[in-house]
Amino acid sequence: MRISGHDYIQIKFDKATCLACPARPQSTDAASGPRSPALLPTPELHEIQQRNRLDQRTEDWQRQYAIRAGIESTRSQNVRAHGLRRTRYRGLPKTHIGHVQTALARNVTRIADWIAEPTRPRRAPSHFHALCTAPN
């Protein structure tokens, strides 16, 4: 099995055996299916993965990822709304002009969304929220 360019070892447990296992609550949250973990084939890769997962819990990593999340949002909007993944022009100068026009269209779209009234009314607070914020 390959995930993100790395080979993984997929372990599949028999459903009946997994459901009858006394350690099931500690190994999976699945309600009915068997556990099927994917492991990296070498201890070194597994250690790197564990170290990366610990790094992702730090404030510094989350601050850096917040920047990336904003960029990913912009890229997604460019691809979905403005078709940026493929260009309609041949040649670098015309392709560059197409990219500039796409960026301009994205900015106009964002300004229009910012100026426009919200299309949906604000959602009413949940019963729990209303209970918590009610005066005594």
Whether 120 maps to a domain, the answer reads no
Kindly state whether residues 11 and 41 are assigned to the same domain. yes
Rounded Cα distance between 52 and 61, Å, is: 10
Kindly state whether residues 29 and 66 are assigned to the same domain. no
* In the predicted structure, residue 31 carries a pLDDT above the cut 80: no
Q: pLDDT tens-digit profile of 33-75? A: 787 777 777 888 888 888 999 999 999 999 988 888 888 888 8
Domain count, the chain: 2
User: Is residue 17 helix, strand or coil?
Assistant: helix
Kindly state whether residues 67 and 38 are assigned to the same domain. no
* Parent domain of 18: 2-55
Whether 71 maps to a domain, the answer reads yes
Whether 128 maps to a domain, the answer reads no
For residues 122-131, average pLDDT: 84
User: Is residue 116 helix, strand or coil?
Assistant: coil
Kindly state whether residues 23 and 68 are assigned to the same domain. no
Whether 36 maps to a domain, the answer reads yes
